[in-house]
Amino acid sequence: MDLINSLLNLVVPPASLVMLAFAWPALSFINACEWVYNTLYSENMEDKVVIITGASSGIGEQVAYEYAKKGAKLVLVARRENRLLGIGENARQLGAKHVMIMAADVVKLDDCRRFVTETVNYYGRVDHLVNTASLGHTFYFEEAIDTSVFPPLMDINFWGNVYPTYVALPFLRQSNGRVIVNASVENWLPLPRMSLYAAAKAALINFYETLRFEAKEVGITIATHGWIGSDMTRGKFMLEDGAEMQWKEEREVQVTGGPVEEFARLMVAGACRGDAYVKYPSWYDIFLLYRVFAPNVLGWTFRLLLSTNGARRSTSLIGTGRPLLESIPPPKLLTGGPFTFPQHNPQQHQQKME
């Protein structure tokens, strides 16, 4: 057996590359035809019900606007209900047929059950679940003094996606719906200061790749982005699904990225086409080939590009005694306004958007 494996190790990689090179033109043509067909017959989202977590800022906010332009009925979920009010009004003006506001914490299973149940009780269905809640960091792992901040990073980036999916999956099966995942290139491309974030995203990708085979009636779109123009790239810690951090940090090197609006547009368009993957920008994929076939080259390149002269200056405020997350108030009863605010008792009257 060892001899066979040794032989396969020598033969399979180069043979596969040769076969892929010859098949590349045909595969590209097939993919192009499939893209054209799916674009012409993409899903009509008018009056469809879309739940968006992490909708109070960043990617989630822009995704809400894209679905609003398509005439969908939106359920906006986040911790900052005051932010959701303004975003809901913007979405209504852009064409959303109806907007429901829900203050909830996606890392709490009971909260996830509540907003999914309220959605089904009111609309009768769920067509798309868009998980955009995410929490990034830019500290070196060895700089962390207070390890109590580790679980929130893993909870939001992993369980904050798994819990809503777990609760919504039976209803998505009924509607042949779709789950859209906000992933990141860091799930396979190593970058410094993002160790826990990258680990959580890697776990998330593997979870949804497995779920494809377990829940065949439900489509899954994994949207992977590189550096985009979000708060994290500007050196500002944010909870996309919750309250802003009580402090900010400054990067030694300011980073710029692509517009978040463009990523959100591609994300929604890809979901409506039924794409399994959305990548922005797509040229990042070339690094995956290097990682598989020439990992040392990739490692040397990143060490060269990311090396710094002299002692590095810490930008992490973890362990300074300042709170990492703002306290999250319990769900409150919201009334009035042009939106629907779900009640804890689903039998009570709910106001519709005018």
- Look up residue 253 and give its amino acid: V
Unique residue bearing structure tokens 């390149």: 301
Residues in the chain, overall count: 354
Phi, psi of 43, deg, nearest 5 = -65, 130
Cα–Cα distances in Å, from 59 out to 47, 62, 64, 174, 229? 22, 5, 9, 27, 10
Q: Rounded to whole angstroms, how far apart are CA atoms 187 and 340?
A: 37
* Dihedral sign for Cα atoms in the order 340, 342, 345, 346: positive
Residues 6+ apart with CB under 8 A from 30: none
- Look up residue 66 and give its amino acid: E
Q: Rounded to whole angstroms, how far apart are CA atoms 71 and 57?
A: 20
Q: Rounded to whole angstroms, how far apart are CA atoms 39 and 49?
A: 21
- Residues 194-229: b if buried by 16+ CB within 10 A, e if exposed: bbbbbbbbbbbbeebeebeeebeebbbbbbbbbbbb
The set of catalytic residues is 197
Cα–Cα distances in Å, from 224 out to 69, 181, 187, 197? 22, 8, 9, 14
For 51, the 3-state DSSP assignment is strand
- Look up residue 266 and give its amino acid: L
**Greatest Cα-to-Cα distance within the chain, rounded to the nearest angstrom:** 73
Strands (E), the chain: 49-53, 73-78, 98-103, 128-131, 178-184, 219-225, 277-280
Cα separation of the two ends of the chain: 71
| Bridge partners for 277 per DSSP | 222
